[in-house]
C-alpha cells in the first residue's frame, strides 16, 4: 500500500474535481498504485544525481532497448529507422488524423472506446464514423460487415488493440480480416497497442503490423508507460516501417514544436524495457488473480453486475444494466452510496450506457474494499 495523496496525483488529488468529494476510493484514471520497477527508480535516482537537466537527445541505447523489447516480447524484428519517439499515444492519435486526412474527411473508431479517440477526430474537423463493436453473449467482437461498409467512405481507422475498455485481445484471424478490408479500401490504420504488454498469462497479443506484408498501411503506437506505471513521464513511440508514412506524421509533430525529449522520461523508458521483464510477468499474474477474485465476488454477491472478462489490461468493463438505473443514477450510486470512483461507461460512447469501468491496478486489498463498498450500498438500495 502506497499513499499517493498529496503527490499531485490525478487519480487521488483530482477526486474532488472529478467526483465532487475527496474521499472516494479512486479506480478511474488508468494508472496503477504499484511502485514502478526498482530498476526504473534506481536509474532515475542515478540520473538525478547529475545536476544539469538540459535539452536531451534520444540516445542509441534507447532505440536498442526498444528494438530488443519488441523482439523478445512480441516476436517482431524492427529497425531503428522505423521508430519515432513522441510525447504520448493520445498526441499520436491526433497527429495521425492530421497527417492522413483532410478537413471533412472520415475516420473510423470502434466504440465503446477510450474517449480521446472521439476527440482526436471531432477536435480536428474530421468526420467521425462509428463502427460499434458487437456485444453478444457477454463478449465483444468486430462487426466486419459494417466495417466494410464504413471503409468505403473513410481514410483512417483508429484501432484499440488490446481494447480499452472491453479488454479484448483481437485474434490473428480478426486482425487479418481487418487488414484485408483496409487493403481493399486503401484505409490507413493507427493501431494503439499501449496495453500490448499487459496480457493475462493464458492469452497472447498479436501486433497488427506483423500480419501484413508491406506494413505500409499500419502505424503502431506503443509505450512502457502503462506497462511499468510511468505514464506521468510522457514518452511513447510509433513504429512506422514505411518512410513516406513516417515522414508525414513526423511533419505534423514538427509543426507543433513539442519535444518528447526529457532526461527522466528517456532514462525510465530505457530502464523499464531493459530490466522490467520479470516485474511485468509478476504483475500480469497478480492482475489475473485479482480479476478472478472480482469475477467470483460479483458472481456470489452482486449478480446484477456482470464482468466482461478481460483478456488483457488492468481495466474491467462492468455491465450494470441489470441494476436498471440511468447513467446519471448509476454514477451517483457508485460515488454517493458506495464511495468509489469508477469511470462511467457513457464516457466511452453511447454504447457504454449502463456500464462502468473499474481499474484493478492496485493492491488486492484496495480492490476488495471497493467491492465490499459496492455490495453494502447495493444491499441498502434493495
φ, ψ at 353 (rounded to 5°) = -60, 130
Confidence class for position 102, pLDDT limits 50, 70, 90: very high
The pTM score is 0.96
Q: How far apart are CA 182 and CA 189, in angstroms?
A: 8
Contact indicator for 362, 32 with CB cutoff of 8 Å: yes
- Residue 258 pLDDT greater than 90, yes or no: no
What would the pLDDT profile of 117-128 be if each residue is shown by its tens digit? 999 999 999 999
Residue-level pLDDT at 163: 98
Q: What percent of the chain has pLDDT over 70?
A: 100
Cα→Cα distances 44→10, 75, 253, Å: 21, 29, 27
- pLDDT digits over 180-227, tens only? 999 999 999 999 999 999 999 999 999 999 998 767 889 999 999 999
Q: What is the Cα 102 distance to its own chain's centre?
A: 26
First to last CA, the chain: 33
Distances (CA, A) of 234 to 55, 180, 342, 354: 16, 33, 23, 32
Strands 315-319 and 340-341: unpaired
Query: Could you tell me where the DSSP H helices lie in 101-143?
Result: 116-122
For residue 112, pLDDT over 70 is answered with yes
Spatial contact of 370 and 358, defined as CB atoms under 8 Å apart: yes
Q: pLDDT tens across 358-367, in order?
A: 999 999 999 9
| Spatial contact of 200 and 312, defined as CB atoms under 8 Å apart | yes
pLDDT digit string, tens, across residues 273-324: 999 999 999 999 999 999 999 999 999 999 999 999 999 999 999 999 999 9
Q: What is the pLDDT of residues 335-360, one digit of tens each?
A: 999 999 999 999 999 999 999 999 99
CA angle 223, 224, 227 (to 5 degrees): 120
Answer yes or no: is pLDDT of 271 > 70.
yes
What mean pLDDT is reported for the chain?
Answer: 97
pLDDT recorded at residue 152 = 96
Range list of H helices, 257-363: 263-275, 277-301, 327-332
**pLDDT, position 214:** 67
Domains of the chain listed by start with CATH number: 10-30+278-381 (3.90.1150.10), 52-274 (3.40.640.10)
Mean pLDDT throughout 8-16?
97
Listed in sequence order, the DSSP H helices in 152-210 are 172-184
Q: Give CA–CA dist 324/260, Å, rounded.
A: 46
Amino acid at each position: 500500500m502506497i499513499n499517493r495523496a498529496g503527490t499531485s496525483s490525478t487519480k487521488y488529488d483530482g477526486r474532488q474535481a472529478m467526483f465532487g468529494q475527496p474521499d472516494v476510493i479512486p479506480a478511474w484514471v488508468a494508472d496503477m498504485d504499484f511502485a514502478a520497477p526498482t530498476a526504473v527508480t534506481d536509474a532515475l535516482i542515478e540520473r538525478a544525481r547529475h545536476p544539469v537537466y538540459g535539452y536531451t537527445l534520444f540516445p542509441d541505447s534507447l532505440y536498442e532497448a526498444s528494438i530488443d523489447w519488441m523482439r523478445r516480447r512480441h516476436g517482431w524484428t524492427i529497425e531503428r529507422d522505423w521508430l519515432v519517439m513522441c510525447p504520448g499515444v493520445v498526441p499520436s492519435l491526433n497527429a495521425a488524423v492530421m497527417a492522413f486526412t483532410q478537413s471533412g474527411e472520415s475516420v473510423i473508431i470502434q466504440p465503446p472506446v477510450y474517449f480521446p479517440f472521439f476527440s482526436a477526430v471531432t477536435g480536428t474537423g474530421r468526420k467521425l464514423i462509428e463502427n460499434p463493436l458487437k456485444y453478444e453473449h457477454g463478449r465483444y467482437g468486430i462487426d466486419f460487415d459494417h466495417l466494410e461498409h464504413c471503409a468505403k467512405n473513410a481514410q483512417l481507422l483508429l484501432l484499440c488493440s488490446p481494447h480499452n475498455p472491453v479488454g479484448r485481445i483481437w485474434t490473428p484471424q480478426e486482425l487479418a480480416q481487418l487488414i484485408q478490408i483496409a487493403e481493399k479500401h486503401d484505409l490507413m490504420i493507427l493501431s494503439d497497442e499501449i496495453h500490448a504488454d499487459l496480457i493475462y498469462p493464458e492469452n497472447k497479443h498479436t501486433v497488427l503490423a506483423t500480419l501484413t506484408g508491406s506494413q505500409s498501411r499500419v502505424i503502431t503506437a506503443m509505450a512502457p508507460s502503462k506497462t511499468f506505471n510511468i505514464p506521468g513521464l510522457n514518452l511513447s513511440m510509433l513504429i512506422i516501417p514505411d518512410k513516406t508514412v513516417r515522414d508525414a506524421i513526423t511533419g505534423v509533430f514538427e509543426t507543433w514544436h513539442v519535444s518528447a525529449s526529457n532526461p527522466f522520461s528517456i532514462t525510465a523508458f530505457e530502464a523499464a524495457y531493459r530490466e522490467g521483464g520479470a516485474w511485468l510477468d509478476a504483475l500480469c499474474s497478480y492482475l489475473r488473480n485479482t480479476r478472478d477474485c472480482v469475477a467470483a465476488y460479483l458472481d456470489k454477491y452482486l449478480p446484477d453486475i456482470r464482468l466482461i472478462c478481460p483478456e488483457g489490461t488492468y481495466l474491467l468493463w462492468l455491465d450494470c444494466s441489470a441494476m436498471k438505473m440511468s447513467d446519471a443514477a448509476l454514477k451517483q450510486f457508485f460515488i454517493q452510496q458506495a464511495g468509489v470512483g469508477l469511470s462511467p461507461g457513457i464516457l466511452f460512447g453511447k454504447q457504454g450506457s449502463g456500464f462502468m469501468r473499474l481499474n484493478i491496478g492496485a493492491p488486492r486489498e484496495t480492490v476488495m474494499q471497493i467491492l465490499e463498498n459496492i455490495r453494502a450500498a447495493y444491499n441498502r438500495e434493495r
